[in-house]
C-alpha cells in the first residue's frame, strides 16, 4: 500500500562558526528520526565542504549536489542515495567545483523549492559555517531553523552575529513583501532622535506610527522562530547559556528563541567520527544518544509553523 506524499518538515542546522558540531548533530538527529520510524533525508548543504557522507561511512557517494550544478541531474531526488540505515537517505554536498559555494540565485531557489517536494517526513539540512546570503536563505527557508553554539566567547559572539544576520535578512524580505520600505527609511533617518536602539524597538515604533504597516511586518516576521542547541558542554552551569541567549534574543530582537537542550562532551562522539559510524548507531545507550533523542522529541513536539510552506 502506497503512502500519500505530504510536504516534509524542513530542519536546518546552522551557526556562525565552524567546528561546533553541526554535522555531528545533523547526522545523529537523522539516525534518531529514522529509528523512530520517521522517513528522513539528510542534505549536506555545506556547499564546497561536504563531509556527511564520510560520517555516515560512505567513502564515495557517487552522486551529489554537483550533478544539479552541472545539469547532469534535474531534481534533488535524482541524487538521493541510501545510507544503509532504514528510513534514512542522504543528498551529499558537492565537490571540486569552484563556483559551487556560491550558486546562482535561481539555482539556489530551485534547490530550496525542491526540498519541500522530497518524499520524506523530515528533511534535515547541514549548513555551512558563517552567515553568507546562501547560508541564511537555506536557514530561513526551514520550518525549524536551529542554531548551534558552544560555551566559548568566540562561539557565543559568532552565534549572535549569525542570528542578527538571519533576523535582518528576514526583516528585509518582510519589509519588501509588506511594501513599507518608505516608512522604514524614515525611521532609520530618525532612529537616534527617536531613541531606537534595537530591532525590537524599531518594530514597536513602526507599529505605533503605522499600525497597519506594523501589523503587516510583524505577521511576516512571526515565522522567524529560531531554535538553539548548546553543544560540547563540560559543566552543568554551561547549560544556562541556552536560557540566557533566549532571553537576550527576546529583549533585543523581540523574537522567541526556543532552547532545545544541551549536549555534553562525550568521548564516544570522537570515537564514532574516527570509525565513521554515527554515535546514535554505534553507541545507542550513550549520554550523547539520550540527549539527541531529547532534542529530537522537543523538535517533533513543536507545533509552531515557520519557514517556507
- Please write the tens of the pLDDT for every residue from 179-217: 877 777 776 677 767 788 888 888 888 888 888 888 888
pLDDT at 1 over 50: no
Q: Return the number of other C-beta atoms located less than 10 Å from residue 168's C-beta.
A: 14
Q: What is the 3-state secondary structure (H, E, C) of 48-67?
A: CCCCHHHHCCCCCCCCCCHH
Q: Rounded to an integer, what distance in angstroms lies between the CA atom of residue 255 and that of residue 147?
A: 14
Q: By mean pLDDT, which of 22-31, 95-104, 122-131, 135-144 is the weakest?
A: 95-104
pLDDT at 77 over 90: yes
In this predicted structure, what is the pLDDT of residue 212?
87
Q: Rounded to an integer, what distance in angstroms lies between the CA atom of residue 148 and that of residue 308?
A: 21
In this predicted structure, what is the pLDDT of residue 138?
95
Q: Rounded to an integer, what distance in angstroms lies between the CA atom of residue 235 and that of residue 223?
A: 33
CA atoms within 13 A on the CB side of 150: 15
Encode pLDDT of 245-298 as tens digits. Answer: 999 999 999 999 999 999 999 999 999 999 999 999 999 999 999 999 999 999
In this predicted structure, what is the pLDDT of residue 308?
40
In this predicted structure, what is the pLDDT of residue 232?
96
Cβ–Cβ < 8 Å for 31, 88:
yes
Q: Return the number of other C-beta atoms located less than 10 Å from residue 220's C-beta.
A: 17
Cβ–Cβ < 8 Å for 66, 97:
yes
Cell 549520554 found at: 287
Q: Rounded to an integer, what distance in angstroms lies between the CA atom of residue 247 and that of residue 231?
A: 18
Q: Return the number of other C-beta atoms located less than 10 Å from residue 82's C-beta.
A: 11
Domain coordinates in residue numbering, the chain? 9-151+226-301, 169-220
Give me the DSSP letters along 236-287: GGGGHHHHHHHHHHHHHH----EEEEEEE--HHHHHHHHHT--HHHH-TTSH
User: Is 3.40.50.12280 the CATH classification of the domain at 9-151+226-301?
Assistant: no
In this predicted structure, what is the pLDDT of residue 97?
57
pLDDT at 66 over 90: no
**Cell numbers of 170, please?**
528576514
Helix (H) or strand (E) holding 195: none
Q: Return the number of other C-beta atoms located less than 10 Å from residue 1's C-beta.
A: 2
Which phi-psi region, left, alpha or beta, contains residue 19 (left: φ > 0; alpha: ψ -120 to 50)?
Answer: left
In this predicted structure, what is the pLDDT of residue 198?
86
Q: Rounded to an integer, what distance in angstroms lies between the CA atom of residue 47 and that of residue 122?
A: 20
Helix (H) or strand (E) holding 77: none
Return the axis-axis angle of helices 133-141 and 153-178, rounded to nearest 10°. Answer: 70
In this predicted structure, what is the pLDDT of residue 99?
56
Q: What percent of the chain has pLDDT over 70?
A: 91
CA 252 to chain centre: 21
Return the axis-axis angle of helices 181-189 and 153-178, rounded to nearest 10°. Answer: 130
pTM tops 0.75: yes
In this predicted structure, what is the pLDDT of residue 96?
46
Helix (H) or strand (E) holding 117: none
In this predicted structure, what is the pLDDT of residue 206?
84
In this predicted structure, what is the pLDDT of residue 65?
86
Q: Which residues pair with 230 in a beta bridge?
A: 149, 262
CA 10 to chain centre: 9
Q: Rounded to an integer, what distance in angstroms lies between the CA atom of residue 57 and that of residue 179?
A: 49
Encode pLDDT of 208-244 as tens digits. Answer: 888 888 888 888 888 899 999 999 999 999 999 999 9
Cβ–Cβ < 8 Å for 108, 134:
yes
Q: Rounded to an integer, what distance in angstroms lies between the CA atom of residue 155 and that of residue 145?
A: 18
Amino acid at each position: 500500500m502506497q503512502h500519500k506524499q505530504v510536504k516534509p518538515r524542513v530542519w536546518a542546522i546552522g551557526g556562525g562558526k565552524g567546528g561546533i558540531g553541526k554535522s555531528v548533530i545533523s547526522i545523529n538527529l537523522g539516525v534518531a528520526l529514522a529509528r523512530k520510524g520517521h522517513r528522513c533525508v539528510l542534505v549536506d548543504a555545506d556547499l564546497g565542504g561536504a563531509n556527511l557522507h564520510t560520517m555516515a561511512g560512505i567513502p564515495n557517494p557517487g552522486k551529489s549536489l554537483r550533478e544539479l550544478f552541472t545539469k547532469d541531474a534535474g531534481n534533488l531526488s535524482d541524487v538521493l542515495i541510501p545510507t544503509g540505515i532504514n528510513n534514512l537517505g542522504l543528498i551529499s554536498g558537492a565537490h571540486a567545483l569552484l563556483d559551487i559555494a556560491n550558486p546562482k540565485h535561481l539555482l539556489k531557489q530551485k534547490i530550496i523549492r525542491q526540498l519541500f517536494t522530497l518524499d520524506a517526513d523530515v528533511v534535515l539540512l547541514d549548513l555551512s559555517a558563517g552567515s553568507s546570503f546562501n547560508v541564511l536563505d537555506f536557514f530561513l527557508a526551514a520550518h525549524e531553523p536551529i542554531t548551534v553554539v558552544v560555551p566559548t566567547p568566540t562561539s557565543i559572539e559568532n552565534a549572535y552575529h549569525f542570528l542578527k544576520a538571519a533576523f535582518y535578512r528576514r526583516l528585509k524580505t518582510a519589509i519588501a513583501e509588506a511594501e513599507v520600505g518608505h516608512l522604514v527609511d524614515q525611521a532609520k533617518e530618525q532612529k537616534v532622535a527617536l531613541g531606537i536602539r534595537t530591532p525590537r524597538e524599531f518594530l514597536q515604533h513602526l507599529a505605533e506610527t503605522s499600525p497597519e504597516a506594523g501589523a503587516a511586518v510583524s505577521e511576516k516576521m512571526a515565522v522567524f522562530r529560531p531554535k538553539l542547541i548548546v553543544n560540547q558542554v563540560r559543566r552543568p552551569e554551561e547549560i544556562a547559556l541556552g536560557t540566557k541567549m533566549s532571553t537576550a534574543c527576546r529583549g533585543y530582537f523581540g523574537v522567541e528563541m526556543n532552547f532545545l537542550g544541551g549536549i555534553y562532551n562525550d568521548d564516544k562522539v570522537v570515537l564514532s567520527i574516527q570509525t565513521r559510524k554515527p554515535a546514535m548507531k554505534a553507541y545507542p545507550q550513550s549520554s550523547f544518544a539520550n540527549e539527541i533523542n531529547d532534542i529530537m522529541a522537543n523538535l517533533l513536539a513543536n507545533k509552531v509553523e515557520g519557514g517556507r510552506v
